[in-house]
């Protein structure tokens, strides 16, 4: 800030802090704690908070912005910070959600991920058909591991056939430029179809196989699209489509145990969703972060993140996950109330179905020590599972297997565990493998024949 500049106090940040009944020193403590939780060492103190609130610092450094987003669930401009003019010269007024538009472009340009070692570098092209439908072009000779699969997503279809000669192109259409002078509604449709495709691929084959394809698509297709002319009629849906894809990339990274990468993707996806004004997507992204907190058995963090998500949108999936947080904290009454709200909202939900809600109930009841009812709900969940959701179905079976093991029924436990291992052959998911490992560890003290058989079957999965 130069001598000629007039400082404008950041009353938004000050009021936010006071609303939490925190002193500047206490708020600084929270910033440091959140940074440590993210594996970052920050020397934040009350003097820094004071400089922010007095307007001496109008735009914190990237690392502080990242920590503030994680701590508050708000974007920097929502906390009263104002980005420098060069970030918003051609994208909207300073402080608006669109003011970080150039940062999204930069992020998508830089996105990268190594190819899965069993897939190698894929010959992949995703282009627009005549009606905006997605076209997948692959070299089937390089997809031998994927075997024969057919997946439907939106108005597009994908057929991967190993051993075929040449390039297999399924779902005919003309190649459309992903670097257009002006983005059209057809591109919006393609982004939505792409998210559906990658969601299906992720669910069927796991993040390890799907993420290299998605990151290539983000880098080679979505990033150039964001540099094109986005008219008022397509700006919001294009940003929302990009948010959904970056969110999916984060979920895939999480599935592979790359939690720091997942967090960065979630934060960028959240920024895109906020810029698009997409409240539902904003809630879903925060809900995904809450899943990571469940893995860490951090019930308070689960409740905190889902509460922030519910401020964006009232969703059955968010209430179901919030119930998980309350169960981890041993708060039965709050857990059951959250499950009741999830049940009420279920008919209008396309993010969680009856099978998914039954699974969440099973997790909650098991954490609350009500294993008999947990087993009933988990069994219902398996019976209602939709076809094609391979990873999800395997995780449900492992959950039921674990409950049987806790009840001393090793025969049923190992039978279901073996079924899960079989389902996970050809699925690249460190999260699922981790669940199988945790189940196997429960059986360490047993030398029953069924346990020995399960261990032998699981050995190949663990070594893959």
pLDDT digits (tens, 9 = 90+) for 49-105: 999 999 988 888 877 888 898 898 888 888 999 876 543 333 333 333 333 344 444
Same-domain status, 134 and 232: yes
Same-domain status, 170 and 64: no
CA 331 from chain center: how many Å? Answer: 26
Q: What is the pLDDT of residue 171?
A: 28
Same-domain status, 60 and 147: no
Same-domain status, 148 and 210: yes
Same-domain status, 49 and 160: no
**144 lies in a domain?**
yes
Range with lowest mean pLDDT among 164-178, 252-266, 407-421, 432-446: 164-178
Final residue before a domain boundary, out of 244, 264, 295: 244
Range with lowest mean pLDDT among 36-40, 64-68, 82-86, 281-285: 82-86
What is the C-alpha end-to-end distance of the chain, expressed in Å? 56
Spatial distance between the Cα atoms of 132 and 370, rounded to a whole number of angstroms:
50
pLDDT at 399 over 60: yes
pLDDT at 163 over 80: no
**114 lies in a domain?**
no
Domain count, the chain: 3
| pLDDT average, residue stretch 391-418 | 85
Confidence band, pLDDT 50/70/90 cuts, at residue 2 = very low
**183 lies in a domain?**
yes
**57 lies in a domain?**
yes
Q: What is the pLDDT of residue 306?
A: 94
Final residue before a domain boundary, out of 53, 75, 97: 75
CA angle 433, 269, 273 (to 5 degrees): 135
Final residue before a domain boundary, out of 219, 244, 269: 244
Q: What is the pLDDT of residue 13?
A: 95
pLDDT digits (tens, 9 = 90+) for 209-264: 778 778 877 877 788 788 777 788 888 999 999 999 999 999 998 888 888 788 88
Spatial distance between the Cα atoms of 222 and 215, rounded to a whole number of angstroms:
10
Same-domain status, 133 and 67: no
Confidence band, pLDDT 50/70/90 cuts, at residue 282 = very high
Q: What is the pLDDT of residue 230?
A: 79
Closest by CA to 312, choosing from 278, 338, 345, 342, is: 278
Same-domain status, 71 and 182: no
pLDDT digits (tens, 9 = 90+) for 422-440: 888 877 788 888 888 888 8
Same-domain status, 142 and 70: no
Same-domain status, 130 and 63: no
Same-domain status, 68 and 128: no
The model's pTM: 0.67
Residues 6+ apart with CB under 8 A from 337: none
**404 lies in a domain?**
yes
Q: What are phi and psi of 207, to 5 degrees?
A: -65, -30
354-367 and 390-406 are packed helices; what angle lies between their axes, rounded to 10 degrees?
A: 30
**97 lies in a domain?**
no
Same-domain status, 60 and 144: no
**128 lies in a domain?**
yes
Residues 6+ apart with CB under 8 A from 386: 353, 355
**345 lies in a domain?**
no
Which residue range forms the structural domain that includes residue 168?
124-244
């Amino acid at each position: 800030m130069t001598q000629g500049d007039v400082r404008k106090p950041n009353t938004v940040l000050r009021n936010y802090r006071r609303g939490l009944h925190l002193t500047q020193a206490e708020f600084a403590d929270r910033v440091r704690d959140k940074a440590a939780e993210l594996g970052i060492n920050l020397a934040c103190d009350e003097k820094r908070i004071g400089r922010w609130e007095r307007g001496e610092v109008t735009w914190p450094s990237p690392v502080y912005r990242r920590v503030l987003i994680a701590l508050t669930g708000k974007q920097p401009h929502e906390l009263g910070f104002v980005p420098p003019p060069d970030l918003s010269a051609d994208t909207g007024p300073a402080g608006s959600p669109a003011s970080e538009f150039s940062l999204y472009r930069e992020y998508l340009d830089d996105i990268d991920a190594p190819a899965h070692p069993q897939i190698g570098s894929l010959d992949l092209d995703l282009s627009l058909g005549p009606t905006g439908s997605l076209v997948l072009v692959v070299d089937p000779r390089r997809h031998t591991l994927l075997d024969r699969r057919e997946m439907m997503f939106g108005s597009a279809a994908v057929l991967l056939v190993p051993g075929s000669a040449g390039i297999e192109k399924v779902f005919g259409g003309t190649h459309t430029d992903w670097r257009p002078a002006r983005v059209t509604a057809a591109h919006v449709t393609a982004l939505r179809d792409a998210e559906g495709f990658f969601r299906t691929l992720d669910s069927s084959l796991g993040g390890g196989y799907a993420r290299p394809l998605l990151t290539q698509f983000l880098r080679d297709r979505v990033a150039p699209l964001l540099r094109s002319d986005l008219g008022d009629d397509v700006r919001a849906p294009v940003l929302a489509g990009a948010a959904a894809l970056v969110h999916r990339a984060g979920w895939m990274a999480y599935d592979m145990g790359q939690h720091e990468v997942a967090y960065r993707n979630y934060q960028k996806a959240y920024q895109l969703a906020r810029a698009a004004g997409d409240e539902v997507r904003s809630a879903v992204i925060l809900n995904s972060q809450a899943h990571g907190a469940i893995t860490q058995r951090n019930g308070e963090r689960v409740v905190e993140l889902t509460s922030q998500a519910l401020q964006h949108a009232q969703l059955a999936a968010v209430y179901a996950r919030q119930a998980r947080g309350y169960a981890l904290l041993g708060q039965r009454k709050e857990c059951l109330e959250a499950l009741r709200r999830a049940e009420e909202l279920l008919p209008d939900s396309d993010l969680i179905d009856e099978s998914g809600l039954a699974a969440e109930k099973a997790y909650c009841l098991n954490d609350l020590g009500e294993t008999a009812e947990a087993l009933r709900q988990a069994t219902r969940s398996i019976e209602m599972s939709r076809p094609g959701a391979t990873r999800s179905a395997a995780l449900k079976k492992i959950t039921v297997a674990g409950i049987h093991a806790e009840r001393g029924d090793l025969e049923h436990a190992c039978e279901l565990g073996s079924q899960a291992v079989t389902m996970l052959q050809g699925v690249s998911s460190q999260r699922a493998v981790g669940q199988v490992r945790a189940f196997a560890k429960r059986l360490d003290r047993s030398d029953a024949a069924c346990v020995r058989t399960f261990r032998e079957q699981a050995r190949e999965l663990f070594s893959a």
